[in-house]
Structure 1
Amino acid sequence: MKSKYKGIAFDMDNTLLRSHIDFPLMKAETFRFLASQGILPEDFPLALHTTATLIQAAVRTSAMSAALMEEMWSTVSRHEWIGMEGAELEPGAAKLLEELHGRFHLAVVTNNACQAAHKALSDHQILHFFDHIVGREMVNSLKPSPDGFLYLLNAYPDTEPQEWLSVGDAWIDGKASEQAGMTFIAYQTELEHMNKAGVFPEGWIGHIRDILQFI
């Protein structure tokens, strides 16, 4: 039976690749920098934020100059590069992509830098499966903003949002996907945590190849 989906968008970290990015430390160091520059207050509710939403809050202030922005991103990039060292493919990911390639539009939507994403996917010999790698330089706002997924929809004007399936491990993936009108499948994450963030996935999978049951 023909699938109702035309495209599949994957998150990268801990969805396609088992990276070792220390997200709590990255968030803490980013916040320390922003607070030290007076961009965010010391009593900022850090526990309620990811690095991405922390950065969005900083960007919305009038104190964020281009120089400070560059320094902030250097902190984030350092953690990304360190975390990608020794990263491994999720079990079954390469075989899955081989099966899907040519049948669906395949894309990666990540908050990582484009260069880091291309290198990580190339190092694991899966870059060629994807039509688009949407990194942070290509959007105005990071996930949980839907910008990355809206970029894909603009790239494929012959598709509708409901013809895309999105797969990711974090609530920000789900929030961004749902706001773009795409169906979201949660990968190896606690649904209770997602629900508390206002994200209600269409389904949950424990192995990346289980996505086949939805298409």
Structure 2
Amino acid sequence: MTPILIFDLDGTLIDSAQDLHAAASRLLQGEGLPTLSLETIRSFIGNGIPTLVDRMINATDLQPRDRTRLISAFLDDYQAHATDLTAPYPGVEATLTQLRKSGYVLAICTNKPQRPAEKIIEDLGLSHFFDALVGGDSLTTRKPDPAGLHYLQSSLGGGPVVYVGDSEVDAESAVNAGMPFALFSEGYRKSPVSEIPHTVVFSNFTDLPSLAENLLSAPA
């Protein structure tokens, strides 16, 4: 069976923190409130936009009763500007090209809503690398529930999988799915690498193909 690499999106394949911060700033300004720092918004990333907005509510004078409206406003604004400042991490495109040439099936499992995630990878010229994408609203559950990872594995032929991500949520997802986890150390993790369960760790995408080859059966 063909081996599969499943990737997280934000903080793994793409550095989207600046666009998320810009959207958060516009939302707060529209509500007549002070903005939050880039580092604060970066610390809120990892569980999807509804959770990011929840954390903004907890950190500011935004009102919990407005949650549904705020999430909708954030999503509408973010989707209109999602690639203004966002870019793939260094080496991502070359690495994905190499992995595809080596015969791997590639997919994405993210807590970002599916349509915005699909549009971002399309706008960044990455969509042709991937055979499938599961977003935070694709199924009835989202990470760290393993359903998305299991769904992708099953729908892509049932081959052995490595999950590649950057965060505590990604690590927990891999543990729950019973899959090896490759931790990208340069993303949005909140804990030291030593405290995040992982099978391998890397800081440069050019190292990923050899790590994948060691973790999975070499493609034919």
TM-score with structure 1 length normalisation? 0.68
- The alignment status of 1:89 with 2:97, answered yes or no, reads no
Contact 1:16 1:93 in 2 (8 A): yes
Which SS does the other structure have where 1:91 is aligned?
Answer: coil
After alignment, is 68-77 or 114-123 more displaced? 68-77
Greater shift in the superposed pair: 86-95 or 68-77: 68-77
Equivalent in the alignment of 1:136: 136
Structure 2 segments unaligned to the other structure (5+ residues)? 28-42, 55-65, 214-220
**Cα 1:126–1:48 shift into 2, 3 Å:** closer
Amino acid at match of 2:156: Y
**Whole-Å separation in 1 of the counterparts to 2:48 and 2:157:** 28
Q: How does 1:109-128 map to 2 (within 5 A)?
A: 109-128=109-128
Contact 1:114 1:134 in 2 (8 A): yes
Q: Supply the distance in 2 between the matched residues of 1:143 and 1:105 (Cα, whole angstroms).
A: 21
Contact 2:163 2:182 in 1 (8 A): yes
Is the contact between residue 202 and residue 208 of structure 2 (CA under 8 Å) also seen in structure 1?
A: yes
The residue identity in structure 1 corresponding to 2:92 is A
TM-fit CA distance, 1:54:
7.5
Where do residues 177-188 of structure 1 align in structure 2 (5 Å cutoff)? 177-188=174-185
CA distance in structure 2 between the partners assigned to 1:170 and 1:203 by the alignment = 13
- Quote the residue 2:173 is aligned against: 176
Contact (CA 8 Å) 1:21, 1:79: kept in 2 or not? no
Matches of residues 196-207 of structure 1 in structure 2 within 5 Å?
A: 196=195, 199-207=196-204
Please state if 1:9 is matched with 2:13.
Answer: no
Q: Distance in 2 between matches of 1:130 and 1:50?
A: 21
Is the 8 Å Cα contact of residues 7 and 164 (structure 1) preserved in structure 2?
yes
1:74 to 72, 75, 85: 72
Taking a change above 3 Å as real, the CA distance of residues 95 and 54 of structure 1, as seen in their structure-2 partners, is closer
Q: Which runs of 5+ in 1 are unaligned?
A: 30-46, 59-67
Q: What amino acid is aligned across from residue 201 of structure 1 in structure 2?
A: H
What percentage of aligned pairs have identical amino acids? 22
| One-letter amino acid of the counterpart of residue 139, structure 1 | L
Change in CA separation of 1:153 and 1:10 when aligned onto 2, cut-off 3 Å: same
Change (3 A) 1:188 1:21: farther
- Cα distance between partner residues in 2 of 1:118 and 1:124: 10
Kept in 2, the 8 Å contact 1:80–1:112? The answer is: no
In the TM superposition, residue 158 of structure 1 has moved relative to its aligned partner by 3.2
Please report the TM-score for the alignment, with normalisation by the length of structure 2: 0.67
Cα distance change on mapping 1:158 and 1:48 into 2, 3 Å? closer
Q: In the alignment, what sits opposite 2:98?
A: 99
Give the paired residue count: 179
Letter in 2 for 1:109: C
What secondary structure does 1:136 align onto?
coil
Give the aligned partner of residue 36 of structure 2. none
Give the deviation of 1:191 after TM superposition.
Answer: 8.8
TM-aligned CA deviation for residue 49 of structure 1? 10
Q: CA deviation at 1:107?
A: 0.3
Q: CA deviation at 1:208?
A: 1.4
Residue 126 of structure 1 deviates from its aligned partner by 1.4
- For 1:50 and 1:210, the matched residues in 2 are separated by 24
Partner of 2:137, secondary structure, is: helix
Change (3 A) 1:195 1:114: same
Whole-angstrom CA distance in 1 between matches of 2:44 and 2:13: 26
Amino acid at match of 2:208: I
Are the counterparts in 2 of residues 77 and 113 from structure 1 also a CA contact under 8 Å?
A: no
